[in-house]
Amino acid sequence: MPAHLLRLARLSPRILGALTGVLPLLAWGQQQAAASAPPPGISGSSVLQALFGLLVVLGLLVAATFFMRRIYGGRPFGQGPLKLLGGIAVGNRERILLVEVEDTWLVIGMAPGQFRTLHTLPKGQLPQGLPGSPGQPSFAHWLNQVMARKNNPPE
């Protein structure tokens, strides 16, 4: 006989009778719990609930966008009387910007923590003699000439 059966036989008949009556009840309880447990996986109602929540959030985003456009008068965000026409880097952290404000162009120098107006022009008029003006060759044209001379040196 195995050792666990010998130990079980030594128990008093009352304890042995109680155990034999309780063990089937425990097994039956486990079977009932397993039978009543929902099947593993995601139920259809939880998927529908998640989709409904997603639609509510998307609807709130669309409504917020609509109301923001109504508040700003239909203009895109960040647009107003000020337009950045161009800019050029002068150093690692310094730039020169051309900004249009209504009928005026402003040439602004920008450095960390500083903005300074360098020049004011009427809208649409660039002074003659600047590189890139209609009468002057562009930097790209000048660079192409220099590269051509470098690749084909005169003999």
pLDDT at 142: 74
- CA distances in angstroms from 106 to 26, 123, 134, 139, listed in the order given: 88, 9, 20, 22
Q: Which of the four pLDDT bands, split at 50, 70 and 90, describes residue 60?
A: very high
pLDDT at 56 over 90: yes
Calculate mean pLDDT across residues 63-85: 76
Are the beta carbons of 99 and 83 closer than 8 angstroms?
yes
CA distance linking residue 135 with residue 141, whole number of Å: 13
Regarding predicted confidence, which is higher, 138 or 87?
87
pTM over 0.75: no
pLDDT at 13: 61
Calculate mean pLDDT across residues 61-83: 77
- CA distances in angstroms from 43 to 33, 35, 36, 37, listed in the order given: 19, 17, 16, 13
In this predicted model, what pLDDT tens digit does every residue of 85-101 receive, in sequence order? Answer: 788 888 888 888 888 88
